[in-house]
Amino acid sequence: MYDFTPMIDSITGYLNGVFTPFWAGLISMVMLGVVLLTVYAVLGLYLVFAERKICARMQNRLGPNRVGPFGLFQTIADLIKLLLKELIFIKNADNFLFNIAPFIVIIASIMAIGSIPFAKGLQAIDLNIGVLYILAISSMGVIGILIAGWASNSKYSVIGAMRSGAQVISYELSVGLALLCIIVYAGSMQFSEIIASQEDGWWIFKGHIPAFIAFVIYLIAGTAETNRGPFDLAEAESELTAGFHTEYSGIKFAFFFLAEYMNMFVIAAIATTLFLGGWLPFHLFQWAGFNHVMDYIPPVFWFFAKTAFVIYLMMWFKWTFPRLRIDQLLALEWKYLLPINLINLILISFLTLMQWHF
């Protein structure tokens, strides 16, 4: 019912009719970049506010409630404060690498958002290797973290960066294998085709218990990959001050802070797309009336509602479980999640081969 492809095609056709192909392509890319950056900034500010409110609720507090109605403008005030803060230059630091590291982290998360489908026809690019692209681009963020820790000339930053590198590289295996389970089911790495394969049911439901196991493993590994609690060993305040970004201040610190929340959004958006049907509405078997009503709800709402649910689960993890030790964190991945994932992948491959899924 809601298809944004004609609207996008009409805008592209208008630009091609008025400008030369070069200028039409350039203007369309600039417009797309502005939209993505706007979405990025708004989502980042909202996620910071949402976590502060959810954390306060779980700790029986009020959270931000002074700046604006219900504290809605508190994160904007915090952003202005960070923009106006002095940038501290670290003695004996590698200035070039120290300054470029925050940009590597934030550019990686922006590029990842570009391939996520918010609705039918509403995505920057629909690659035929979308899942592989997301895994490749999101793994680039750890390069910025390692560079930041090494270039800061601080033992706390180096230890935090090494922990983060070991953690992200380890848990990427479980994230990739969990997504591979759904790729085996859907038979494609293209996001639009994976969503189309769920028109008769989301994979978390019609993929039987193995699909649910893959979802749980993905959620745990995704939370660890974003360096969020209870897996935030890279930012252990009691041991490492602030970890890899200890020496950063002002807007450079804000980049790291914002990228963490947007990486969380990317992890949740991928879970929504592969496991929860993406922007598809919720349907109940043969209940035609109920399903028809659900179809009237815009797909963008469905996408963000499902993504918000996954983000809430990740925040729930952080404010419920105590922080793990580094040996416990790595043992969880190599001794438990990875073997379970491999067995689960073999089982899903067998179910797909026998066509025993719904």
Please give the DSSP secondary-structure letter assigned to residue 69: G
Q: What are phi and psi of 122, to 5 degrees?
A: -110, 75
**Does the pLDDT at position 345 exceed 90?**
yes
**Does the pLDDT at position 17 exceed 80?**
yes
Q: How sure is the predictor about 346, in pLDDT bands with cuts at 50, 70 and 90?
A: very high
The pLDDT, as a whole number, for residue 194 is 93
The pLDDT, as a whole number, for residue 5 is 80
How far apart are the C-alpha atoms of 178 and 264, rounded to whole Å? 17
Contact 113, 39 (CB under 8 A): yes
How far apart are the C-alpha atoms of 122 and 300, rounded to whole Å? 9
The pLDDT, as a whole number, for residue 239 is 60
The region of weakest confidence among 60-69, 139-148, 348-357 is 348-357
The pLDDT, as a whole number, for residue 269 is 94
Q: What are phi and psi of 119, to 5 degrees?
A: -165, 175
pLDDT in tens, 178-231: 999 999 999 899 998 999 988 888 889 888 899 999 999 999 999 988 888 788
The pLDDT, as a whole number, for residue 303 is 93
Q: Which of 340, 311, 339 has its CA nearest to residue 219?
A: 311
Q: What is the mean pLDDT of the chain?
A: 87
**Does the pLDDT at position 358 exceed 80?**
no
250: CB partners within 8 A, 6+ apart:
82, 83, 85, 86, 87, 88
Domain residue ranges of the chain, discontinuous segments joined by +:
90-354
Helix (H) or strand (E) holding 84: helix 74-84
Q: Which of 317, 339, 296 has its CA nearest to residue 232?
A: 317
User: Mean per-residue pLDDT for 350-358?
Assistant: 78
% of the chain exceeding 70 in pLDDT: 97
pLDDT in tens, 269-317: 999 999 998 888 888 877 778 878 888 888 999 999 999 999 999 999 8
- Alpha-carbon separation of residue 332 from 115, 171, 231 (angstroms): 30, 10, 11
The pLDDT, as a whole number, for residue 357 is 64
Instruction: Reply yes or no: is the peptide bond before residue 6 cis, omega within 30 of 0.
Output: no
- Alpha-carbon separation of residue 197 from 96, 191, 251, 278, 353 (angstroms): 46, 10, 42, 11, 16
Number of H helices, E strands in the chain: 16, 0
Q: How sure is the predictor about 92, in pLDDT bands with cuts at 50, 70 and 90?
A: confident
pLDDT in tens, 131-169: 999 989 988 888 888 898 888 888 888 888 888 888 888
**Does the pLDDT at position 44 exceed 70?**
yes
Q: How sure is the predictor about 337, in pLDDT bands with cuts at 50, 70 and 90?
A: very high
Work out the angle between the directed axes of helices 299-318 and 21-58 (0-180°, nearest 10): 40
- Quick count: other Cβ atoms within 10 Å of Cβ 207? 26
Contact 218, 174 (CB under 8 A): yes
The pLDDT, as a whole number, for residue 285 is 74
Q: What are phi and psi of 78, to 5 degrees?
A: -65, -40
Alpha-carbon torsion, ordered 21, 23, 27, 32, to 10 deg = 40
The pLDDT, as a whole number, for residue 175 is 93
Q: How sure is the predictor about 267, in pLDDT bands with cuts at 50, 70 and 90?
A: very high
Burial class (CB in 10 A: 0-12, 13-18, 19+), 193: middle
The pLDDT, as a whole number, for residue 236 is 64
